[in-house]
């Protein structure tokens, strides 16, 4: 990674809020996985944790990877 890229990455990451995964988020992620994994959707565990965190925080999830988040009805691409 070039120095200018590293600086841009550090600036981007500094604007993010980092949220720990607690027991409630873990349980919600497990419930989401149990419901959606049966369909052999190919959704990764990390995606379940991301969805559960968004639900716990009542936060808007911005992604273009809509097929990995069927558990969030109404999700649309950010652009």
Asked if 47 and 68 count as a contact pair (C-beta separation under 8 A), the reply is yes
Long-range contacts for 52-58 (Cβ within 8 Å, ≥24 apart)?
52/25, 52/26, 52/28, 53/19, 53/21, 53/25, 55/28, 56/24, 56/25, 56/28, 57/19
Residue 22: its pLDDT value, please? Answer: 97
pTM of the model: 0.79
Residue 40: its pLDDT value, please? Answer: 63
Residue 63: its pLDDT value, please? Answer: 94
Residue 39: its pLDDT value, please? Answer: 66
Mean pLDDT (whole number) for 49-54: 96
**pLDDT tier for residue 28 given thresholds of 50, 70 and 90:** very high
Alpha-carbon torsion (57, 61, 13, 16), positive or negative: negative
């Amino acid at each position: 990674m070039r120095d200018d890229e590293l600086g841009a990455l550090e600036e981007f990451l500094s604007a993010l809020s980092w949220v720990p995964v607690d027991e409630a988020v873990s349980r919600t992620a497990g419930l989401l996985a149990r419901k959606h994994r049966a369909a052999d959707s190919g959704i990764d565990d990390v995606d379940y944790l991301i969805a559960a965190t968004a639900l716990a925080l009542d936060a808007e999830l911005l992604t273009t990877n809509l097929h990995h988040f069927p558990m969030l009805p109404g999700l649309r691409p950010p652009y």
